[in-house]
Structure 1
Amino acid sequence: MMWFTAKELIALPVMPTTPDKVKVKLDKLIGINSNLKRKRKGSKAFEYHLDALPDTTKTFLMQKHANALTASISKAERDEKTIDEKWYEFDNATTKQKSDAEERLKAALLVRGLVDSGKKKSAAIQIAVENSRFSYDTIRTWFYKKPGLNKICTDDWLPNLLLLNGLKVGDAKRAEFSEEAQQFFKNSYLRPHVTKTEAYRATVRTALANGWKVPSIDTVKRWCDANIPYELKVLLRDGKAAVNQRLVPAQRRTRMGMHALEMVSGDGHVARVQCELENGKIIRPMVWVFQDVYSSAIVGYSVDISENNEMLSIAIANMAMKYGLPRSFLFDRGSAALSDQVTGSMVKPSKKKGKYKKFDSTELEGLLQTLGYSSADINWTGVIEDNVGNKGNARGKPVERAFHSKGGIGQFERHPSFEGCYTGSSVVNRPMDYEGGKKGVSFNLFCELFDDWVIEFNNVIGRRTEMGRGVKSYQEVFDESYAVSQIRKPTPEQLRLCLLNKEMVMVRESGVFELMASKYKAKTDSHYKTNRYQSPMLYDYIGERITIRFNPYDMHSEVYAYDKHGRLIGAIQMIEDAGFRSLSAKRMQALHQSEMKERVNLLAQQADLMDSEKFKDAIESLKHDKSELGSVVPGITEMIPSMPKALDSFINTSNIDETDEDDITSVLLDMYKPASNG
């Protein structure tokens, strides 16, 4: 490759077209450097080294040599496959291809057996032809040409017979599919929700305009399955989050070694049921559920018309009052769980790039922090990076299984009482009787039935979980562990802290204040209602504003009053409204008034007041001499002279017919004058 004669260089790039002219040009190029020219062995001709050639000619020869070398290597690789590669091809062949190869093997083994028994190979092949569907020339080719069974061990005949007319199946002529058309099809198909047929039709239209070759749709579909990796389809068609959720198997985490209330998983769920409120508004309630991770039992919940901080805190209070405080929590990145009222200045996760941020210490102290929990006790489910933003990892939250549309809460949402109000699992899966949000079940009925469902959910026998083992219910698993576990019980003050709903109120006369008792805050709303609360403890705060902490879902229970410095005043009871003609309410009111009289009389007796006469004397002692610096202003009657009370002694002296309106006073004085004595 390094040395060339003049004849071999004729008509190459920038080279002359005759041998003599080539010699002249090369001799000039090499000059006195005789090392670049030599006489070829076995010939009279001279040959020139590659470095003696012009750069253009040299590049052309090197590319030609590289192409030839690549072709020879590829051919050698095709012709010299190892037996392992052939067995691999056999394993990846179709069932029909393997069946054909086995049929060929039977015919070839028949020939080998007959030859070993003493027959000539030609006669043995003829007998194999009579007992198979193959011709004489085909069987003879197997032994003497391809694959050449005479030189191959009998144990390896099967993969070598995976042939079709002397060619490996798959090496047959394929339909032409232009490279540009292949790229266009991939671009069309590797997009969300685009089918192969849609991508094929777009490819055909574009191919007609550009002169590309496109085979039939079935061929293109097979090409797509064979040449586009499944992982790439998932990434480009379904997104980055789908890669993690569908290509990476989910963790199967064991609960062995845990106990009841070691960790609870909490999350909110928008019910798939339309509910009607008292004012006629149709809403879908929000349910917040705490599920024990160990047993999968629901240990606390709350229901509201929308997700808010209060419903999460009430769910914690409901759980704590019945069972106690869990050791740790598992939350998602929902707005309620991330609120400062719940977690305060703890370390909370940020959705941005999966990092964490620490909130300022000046923010509100959170409920969980006040209850004695630290950041290490609060666990957050991770997020998965998606093409647009991040996506929550539902597989990381055990409570999500309770929200499943087919099982779990989905069974409750399909209750017969919700006929026409069940919205379906999605907007594209509406039930036949769904009335499009025009009808709603009573919100109170929804809450009652949900409580019944929670009991049923916890007590279903034969749960197929790691702890239930197909025999026990969630509640049984929980109760067995709860009975032998040390659970931290909340103090009364901690339970009050769970009632995160706080409101500033004015204490009116009689130590009474009011709290809104409905979801409708506008006083102009016909459904606006208030509850009244009263206690003698509030007498000292009449006219002042105090803070009330209460359970918004149980307005009839006691509420807790705090003064302006945050000190607890006490528990305040609600005053029930009375019927207008209720005699019992009237008697009760009279009893309260009588008790109050006795109370104040007793207080008066114990007041240790000064004697009245002694108090009067003390006041008199404060009098001073007159200052003579002023006097009382006299009344208007004291400034008018005495006048007669009748007109009998007056005569009319006026002869004026018309009264002067401008001087009515003088006219009146002239009309009446006292009579003279003469």
Structure 2
Amino acid sequence: MLTREWATLPEFAAMALPGVPETRALQKWAISGNWSRPEWRNVYWRRRSGTCGAIEYSYQLLDRPAQLAWMQRHVVISVEDEIAAFGDDKRYADEWRMFHEASQTKQKKALEILQHLDRLHRLMEAGHTLEIAIYDVCREFGLKRTTVMNWRRRVKYVCRHHWLPFLLPGNKGATGPRAACDEQAWEFYRSDYLRAERPNHSDCYRRMVAAAEKNGWVVPSAKTMQRRINELPTAVIKMAREGRDRVKDMVPAQERDRTHLHALQAVNADGHKWDVFVKWPDGTVARPMMVAWQDLYSNMFLSWRVDRSENTDAIQLALGDLVEKWGIPQRAYLDNGRAFASKRMTGGAKTRFRFKVREGDAAGVMTILGIETIFVTPYSGQSKPIERGFRDFAQGLSKHPAFAGAYTGNNPMAKPENYGSSAVPLETFLAVISDGIKEHNSRLGRNTAVCGGVKSFRQVFEESLAQVQPRKPVAQQRHLWLRAAENLTTNKKDGSFKFLGNRYFGSFLNDHLGESIVVRFDPQDLHQDMHVYSMDGRYLGDAPIIEKTGFDTTAAAAEKKRAEKLLTKATKMRLDAEKALSPAELVALMPDLDEDGEDLVESKVVQQFRPRAVVAGSSALALDCDEEQELAREREEMAEVMQLRDYL
């Protein structure tokens, strides 16, 4: 499009266009040519508004060299202008789509050709013949007449606003019909190509030709079929040949802003399999698994643990390190794996999607600590920023000089030449990893929105943590992450419980006979005291193990007898404390009986009284009551002695 078409005579002279004289000579030229004739008003001349009626003229009144120079100076053609010009016209939608898919070099060449044709078109509108206009354009830009005529043939039957896509290099124009192709042949070729096995074009075309000879189909060339396939939507081709996940990659990644967070407001965790062979204390060689927790605000790694696999114990211990050192976070973003979504960690959470949720399930560690659990999409690195830190470890820390010969490569095709030549001891591995994570947190110049390309992860974390008050755990809560949890039921008679072949008991369990409890224990030492909790997370007490004793061990029997006496004595004292009033005192507090004022109820049934015969020997009933009680006590003591003798 022309950005300018009008100018006054002094302005024409000041532009130094070819063949245009200075202002005085140009005025004589305009008078002799009668440029201001009335019928040309508003066509070749007009009065400029706001300039006291100054007259301006169209550039078309100049000679052809001056017109070409004018158009070259004031013609601007852009892709946006061409697209906006055709509006809602969808007749050439396919051609415009091909133009957008073309390379930038081809688009630039098409714009250059369009500028030449536009100048040619405007010269002809100014009254020049086709041959003269072609001659002027070819002489000005060093083109050949045949080239210009070929360009004109491409757009001969096309609306002016749709010329641009037809001028792409390699585009033959819109006049030629498409090659004939039977619909069945096209369906055969399309169905064969759109398979997960990803066959190439040549094999699909060869099979289609064989099928066409059998069924009498008319088929075009291989290039034509390939062009037809390429006209299908890219998303359809990717889904058919590469899978659903590749189509998801076509959607721009979500940019998550974390500047509005603060330290410990949100954390995320995941496991990372190290590409290093480690020699464990038992002599086995295997790649270790690290479980780590990361702060989302600062990207700082807060805690980590290493084990042979990703298990709940490692996750729980790493969480304990985080809570004890920094505080209790508000939210945690986890994947839905078995270890992270286990009942021990997230039992009782409403958003759990693994295992069957039962009403009587014990509350998990994170549920008791009040950490909101959010499960992200599995195998989605975008949902867990910690994956970015793991990638840094895989690229740098795994190739540490201390791991020479133990590095395995990040995939089976990237094994180093010294693969499997050595294995680093576990102590060395842990020391190098510890130093590497500290350096990762303290490295300056981090290019994140929070660090600003200057600070380190640790600096922004500590600055934010100083401005908030994180929740700190109490002493009783430390059992939550140092022990594993299981649901058990106490004995209905004495309150003891069994776990992994051992029995445990504490006097506080007498108040929880037959109830479901939660025990937290050290999986590496089952002889330590069990920490017992109620199903709703209340700490009840510690239950020591009841050691098994020999059959003929009298000391254990005496210890049991002593425990019984202590329990009986303590219970008797508690009972006396609860029974603050004696029976006589209870009677004294009750209202007095009024026998005179009591209304007697007369029975309607009367039975005749018949006295019984006196039984001989009834004088035996006259035994003294005290002597009878004394004999009963002696018999009970004798029975206890006999039972104790049999027990020993």
Q: TM-score range by the shorter chain?
A: 0.5 to 0.7
Q: Answer whether contact 1:548 1:559 (CA < 8 A) is retained.
A: no
- SS of equivalent to 2:338: coil
Aligned-residue CA RMSD (Å):
4.2
Give the stretch that moved more between structures: 393-402 or 485-494: 393-402
State the distance in 1 between where 2:205 and 2:138 align: 50
Residue 173 to residue 432, structure 1, CA distance change in 2 (3 Å): farther
Amino acid in the other structure paired with 1:311: A
1:138, CA displacement in angstroms? 5.6
Would you say 1:179 and 2:174 are equivalent positions? no
Would you say 1:460 and 2:458 are equivalent positions? no
Would you say 1:308 and 2:311 are equivalent positions? yes
Residue 360 to residue 563, structure 1, CA distance change in 2 (3 Å): closer
Deviations 1:362-396 (A, max 9, x none): 233311223244xxx1111135xxxxxxxx32211
1:256, CA displacement in angstroms? 2.3
Q: Answer whether contact 2:274 2:288 (CA < 8 A) is retained.
A: yes
Structure 1 partner of 2:12: none
Amino acid in the other structure paired with 1:323: W
Residue 432 to residue 126, structure 1, CA distance change in 2 (3 Å): closer
Given the alignment, which residue of 350, 363, 378 partners 2:373? 378
Residue 453 to residue 366, structure 1, CA distance change in 2 (3 Å): same
1:194, CA displacement in angstroms? 1.6
**TM-score relative to the length of structure 2:** 0.55
Structure 2 partner of 1:273: 276
Structure 2 partner of 1:396: 383
- SS of equivalent to 2:294: strand
- SS of equivalent to 1:255: coil
Given the alignment, which residue of 202, 205, 215 partners 1:203? 205
1:410, CA displacement in angstroms? 3.4
Q: Answer whether contact 1:125 1:139 (CA < 8 A) is retained.
A: no
Superposition pairs of residues 604-623 of structure 1, within 5 angstroms: none
Structure 2 partner of 1:513: none
Given the alignment, which residue of 349, 352, 357 partners 1:346? 349
Q: Answer whether contact 2:134 2:148 (CA < 8 A) is retained.
A: no
1:157, CA displacement in angstroms? 7.8
1:97, CA displacement in angstroms? 4.7
Structure 1 partner of 2:357: 359
Amino acid in the other structure paired with 2:209: A
- SS of equivalent to 1:269: strand
State the distance in 2 between where 1:130 and 1:346 align: 78
Q: Answer whether contact 1:188 1:199 (CA < 8 A) is retained.
A: no
State the distance in 1 between where 2:144 and 2:470 align: 80
Q: Answer whether contact 1:111 1:128 (CA < 8 A) is retained.
A: no
Superposition pairs of residues 84-123 of structure 1, within 5 angstroms: 93=99, 94-95=106-107, 96-113=109-126, 115=127, 121=129
Structure 2 alignment gaps of length 5 or more: 1-85, 100-105, 487-518, 534-539, 545-633, 635-648
Superposition pairs of residues 628-643 of structure 1, within 5 angstroms: none
State the distance in 2 between where 1:328 and 1:137 align: 68
Structure 1 partner of 2:477: 494
State the distance in 2 between where 1:256 and 1:137 align: 58
Given the alignment, which residue of 521, 529, 534 partners 1:549? 521
Superposition pairs of residues 493-642 of structure 1, within 5 angstroms: 493-501=476-484, 549-550=521-522, 561-562=529-530, 567-568=541-542
1:215, CA displacement in angstroms? 5.0
State the distance in 2 between where 1:459 and 1:309 align: 29
Q: Answer whether contact 2:266 2:297 (CA < 8 A) is retained.
A: yes
State the distance in 2 between where 1:269 and 1:396 align: 16
State the distance in 2 between where 1:462 and 1:400 align: 20
Would you say 1:192 and 2:196 are equivalent positions? yes
**TM-score relative to the length of structure 1:** 0.53
Amino acid in the other structure paired with 1:337: F
State the distance in 1 between where 2:152 and 2:422 align: 80
State the distance in 2 between where 1:91 and 1:563 align: 70
Would you say 1:223 and 2:190 are equivalent positions? no
State the distance in 1 between where 2:405 and 2:164 align: 67
Residue 168 to residue 85, structure 1, CA distance change in 2 (3 Å): farther
Structure 2 partner of 1:258: 261
Q: Answer whether contact 2:202 2:222 (CA < 8 A) is retained.
A: yes
Structure 2 partner of 1:134: 145
Q: Answer whether contact 2:278 2:425 (CA < 8 A) is retained.
A: yes
Residue 560 to residue 316, structure 1, CA distance change in 2 (3 Å): farther
Superposition pairs of residues 448-487 of structure 1, within 5 angstroms: 448-487=431-470
Q: Answer whether contact 1:101 1:158 (CA < 8 A) is retained.
A: no
Q: Answer whether contact 2:278 2:429 (CA < 8 A) is retained.
A: yes
Amino acid in the other structure paired with 1:249: P
- SS of equivalent to 1:349: coil
State the distance in 2 between where 1:476 and 1:394 align: 25
Residue 428 to residue 82, structure 1, CA distance change in 2 (3 Å): same
1:501, CA displacement in angstroms? 4.2
Structure 1 partner of 2:597: none
1:208, CA displacement in angstroms? 2.3
Given the alignment, which residue of 378, 391, 397 partners 1:412? 397
Structure 2 partner of 1:507: none
State the distance in 2 between where 1:371 and 1:179 align: 66
- SS of equivalent to 1:242: helix
State the distance in 1 between where 2:145 and 2:367 align: 84
Deviations 1:35-82 (A, max 9, x none): xxxxxxxxxxxxxxxxxxxxxxxxxxxxxxxxxxxxxxxxxxxxxx99
Structure 1 alignment gaps of length 5 or more: 1-80, 352-356, 384-391, 504-546, 571-621, 623-678
Deviations 1:75-128 (A, max 9, x none): xxxxxx999568975795454555444444444444444x36xxxx47746856
- SS of equivalent to 1:423: coil
Q: Answer whether contact 2:299 2:457 (CA < 8 A) is retained.
A: yes
Q: Answer whether contact 2:264 2:329 (CA < 8 A) is retained.
A: yes
State the distance in 1 between where 2:472 and 2:88 align: 72
1:467, CA displacement in angstroms? 0.5
State the distance in 2 between where 1:137 and 1:440 align: 73
1:179, CA displacement in angstroms? 3.3
State the distance in 1 between where 2:321 and 2:237 align: 47
Deviations 1:272-310 (A, max 9, x none): 222222333222211111000111101111110112111
State the distance in 1 between where 2:374 and 2:256 align: 16
Residue 280 to residue 221, structure 1, CA distance change in 2 (3 Å): farther
State the distance in 1 between where 2:138 and 2:201 align: 50
- SS of equivalent to 1:329: strand
- SS of equivalent to 1:203: helix
- SS of equivalent to 1:313: helix
Count of aligned pairs? 409
**Runs of 4+ with >6 A deviation:** 139-142, 563-566
Q: Answer whether contact 1:291 1:300 (CA < 8 A) is retained.
A: yes
Would you say 1:326 and 2:349 are equivalent positions? no
